[in-house]
Amino acid sequence: MRTVSDGNAHLGSSLIHTRNKRFPGPEVGDGADAPLRILPIGGLGEIGMNCMLVGNYDRYVILDAGLMFPDGFDELGMQKVLPDTSFLHKFRDRIEAVIITHGHEDHIGALPWILPALDPATPVYATSFTMALIKRRMLEFGLWSPQRFREYKLNMRFQAGPFQCQAVRVTHSIPDCCGLFFRCDDGTIVHTGDWKIDETPMDGEEFDRAAFEQVGNEGVTLFMSDSTNVLSPGRTTSEALVANTLMNRVSAWDKGRVIATCFASNIHRLEALKAAADASNRKMVLLGMSLNVYLEAAFKDNRATFNPSQLLDAEEMDGFPENQLLIVTTGSQAEPRAMLSRAAYNAARQLRLGSTDLLLYSAKMIPGNEKRIMKMLNAIAQRGPSLVIGRGENLHSSGHAHQEELVEVLRLVKPQHFLPVHGEYAFLKEHEQLARRHAGVHHSTVIQNGQMLGIAPLRNRNAHGTLGSMQLLGETRLQNMYNDGTNSSGSKDDLCLEDRVRLANEGLVVATVRIFRNPEDVAAAVAAGYVEGSQEEVEAKEAAANRRSNSWDRDRDRGGHVNTSGGSGPKLQGDVKIVTKALYTAQGEYADEFREAAEEAVSSCSAASPGWEVERAVRKAVTTAARRLLQKKPEVVVTSVDANPESLDERIVPSAATRRGMVRQQQEGEVDEKGSERERTGRRGGNSSPPRSGRTSRTNSAR
């Protein structure tokens, strides 16, 4: 197990953004008409990053501490999206406990950032298997403390903050999942966690209908339920059906290896694959660290039916015939560094795909990942394996309830108020309507992250409107935090997300300016009336102009650079080196134009201009040239250095004017030694090439 942090190094600046953040809702001690309070920090209006404050007056517990994986182009280079840890840090005195429902990353992945935001004495509660996963993660980040982390048992009530809590069994796609009941003098809150109703669970631990029915008979003030699959009609299929399908598919393949990919946390799926391997006399191999992590934790908690030591080590595969191997690999979501994703492009040493392989895709394409998954599957198909994929193949069963299950549990609980959670905003709205249409729910609402909902018990179930005794107590602005896979953590500004997107879209130009400044020219420029301005004043005036008019029009009107001539005195001499990244340059022609524009900007500056003034003129000139040639606004980075005037004739990069003069000399027959040699060679061989024009010539620096 690798050590990631000493407990603090990974936090970066994720805890410092507390300014102007306020806690929504009534002031401390107020709000007697809404004693129960819900404040989602993440997970509402999105899939992932589940984290919520559940409170009684001003005392709160955190329910789950999940992360979300980056979604698309706007989060370039990020590996994790985290809840607003700065907000939690600022109001840590109100948070008395953390309670975890199960061990998926979208429920425990943010713990290394959330726990340091809280008081060190704040306890963390979880079931035994989930705690095993948490312990490994906390050891990696230097945050494990046996006194702080506490296991709870199913149906055994425990005190957490202001609530007497009770965990009850629900079925899901990872072992040891639970729903939670929060009881206090002011009412009862029920949260399902992630769930489905599997009538034939692989481990025999059935969804606890009796517990939900019992709490419903006691009276539930607020019910919160998973909305992930609210658009799916009917009921979910059982994991037992998937196990039977895997058994048949593996047993029927005799041409070579069977390769299966699934979510690493789905221990029941691994057990089904192991049973299929045993039945077909195959050795099972795990490729991917996360598969081993989850399986080892399950075995130590007596939740796996086989010992990981029974599996074949990856290094031993070559000693067995291919038709005696079943390989389980990570990468179902085409994660770039996962084993299957690398194998698709022949970049995995341990897994080379061939035409005798059978690939079983035993997972779901998570929304947002479809394009890259299909790209991976296309690459795999081109390497020859047979693929089995699709909903009708019964290779995967969702861990989230469909419509009939959602309605069934709503009818069991009979809540006074209903709040859909865990899903996109459209899913939450549909779940609310489903509850009203089919489950007899009269009082419901939908809220978003950062909005605080207050709830009080109903005195008369039929005496209130659609909200019942719910009310919106306030709202706060939350900001996501990010981590790029290293110790760099913080806000989008800290991780420069907008800059990353701009560089990817617009490109980069780096201009290095060498200034040749003659002391006599400087004195003459000052005598001619040049007065150095203040950089701060100039930038302030430019910012004000930006607010009044379009910057592109202004740059074009000014010719792309600021008038820094300071009268008719001597001007600067200098040369410019241009380097471009992620920009089309027309085989170097545009780079030459950038350089010409930059050198003209330098030559328009007074001989007494300071470096910042020259850099500013060059930046504007290059920006305008890029706009004219490419309709883009690249990031332009300019640095300048004063060179020794004696080196004026020893420039590394010829100026644009010098290059044009050299071309004219070549065209007039006044060639240098190299040109003469080409001419002599041409006479001998009967061939000659016309010299390139100054506009299309390139130097190595412009490439």
The pLDDT score that the predictor gives to residue 643 is 86
Residue 53: beta bridge partners?
39, 62
Q: Determine the Cα–Cα distance for residues 136 and 140; give it in Å rounded to an integer.
A: 6
Asked whether the predicted pLDDT for residue 698 surpasses 90, the reply is: no
The pLDDT score that the predictor gives to residue 517 is 87
What are the pLDDT digits (tens) for 564-580?
444 568 999 999 999 99
The pLDDT score that the predictor gives to residue 533 is 67
Going by pLDDT thresholds of 50, 70 and 90, the confidence category of residue 694 is very low
Structure token pair of residue 466: 């659609």
For residue 26, give Cα distances in angstroms to 38, 52, 212, 488: 13, 18, 32, 35
Calculate mean pLDDT across residues 236-256. Answer: 97
Residue 441: beta bridge partners?
none
Is the torsion defined by CA of 165, 170, 176, 177 positive or negative?
A: negative
- φ, ψ of residue 519 in degrees (nearest 5): -55, -35
- Listed in sequence order, the residues at least 6 apart from 44 whose beta carbon sits closer than 8 Å to its beta carbon are 421, 422, 423, 425, 428, 447, 448, 449
Q: Determine the Cα–Cα distance for residues 7 and 140; give it in Å rounded to an integer.
A: 9
What radius of gyration, in Å, describes the C-alpha atoms of the chain?
Answer: 33
- Listed in sequence order, the residues at least 6 apart from 207 whose beta carbon sits closer than 8 Å to its beta carbon are 169, 170, 171, 195, 196, 197, 198, 201
Domains within the chain, CATH numbers bracketed: 9-234+399-490 (3.60.15.10), 239-393 (3.40.50.10710), 507-658 (no CATH)
The pLDDT score that the predictor gives to residue 702 is 36
The string of DSSP codes covering 124-163 is EEE-HHHHHHHHHHHHHTT---TTTEEE--BT--EEETTE
Report pTM.
0.84
The type of residue at 617 is A
The pLDDT score that the predictor gives to residue 666 is 57
Asked whether the predicted pLDDT for residue 380 surpasses 60, the reply is: yes
For residue 75, give Cα distances in angstroms to 478, 495, 501, 504: 17, 10, 8, 11
Neighbours of 692 (CB within 10 A): 11
Residue 239 · residue 269 · CB < 8 Å? yes
The pLDDT score that the predictor gives to residue 53 is 98
For residue 274, give Cα distances in angstroms to 210, 245, 326: 33, 13, 9
H/E stretch holding 17 = none
Higher-confidence residue of 24 and 528: namely 24
From 466, 494, 463, select the one nearest 479 (Cα to Cα): 494
| Dihedral, 598, 604, 610, 614 alpha carbons, nearest 10 | -20
Q: Are strands 481-483 and 124-126 parallel, antiparallel or unpaired?
A: unpaired
What are the pLDDT digits (tens) for 1-15?
778 898 999 999 999
**Residue 85 CA from chain centroid, whole number:** 16
Residue 361 · residue 395 · CB < 8 Å? yes
H/E stretch holding 664 = helix 656-667
Q: Are strands 481-483 and 508-516 parallel, antiparallel or unpaired?
A: unpaired
The pLDDT score that the predictor gives to residue 697 is 34
Structure token pair of residue 556: 């074009």
- Listed in sequence order, the residues at least 6 apart from 243 whose beta carbon sits closer than 8 Å to its beta carbon are 202, 268, 271, 272, 275, 276
Q: How is residue 690 annotated by DSSP?
A: P
Is the torsion defined by CA of 675, 680, 685, 688 positive or negative?
A: positive
What are the pLDDT digits (tens) for 297-318?
999 999 999 999 999 999 999 9
Q: 205-228 in b/e burial notation, b at 16+ Cβ within 10 A?
A: bebbeebbeebbeeebbbbbbbbb
Calculate mean pLDDT across residues 257-263. Answer: 98
For residue 481, give Cα distances in angstroms to 93, 446, 452, 491, 529: 21, 24, 20, 5, 52
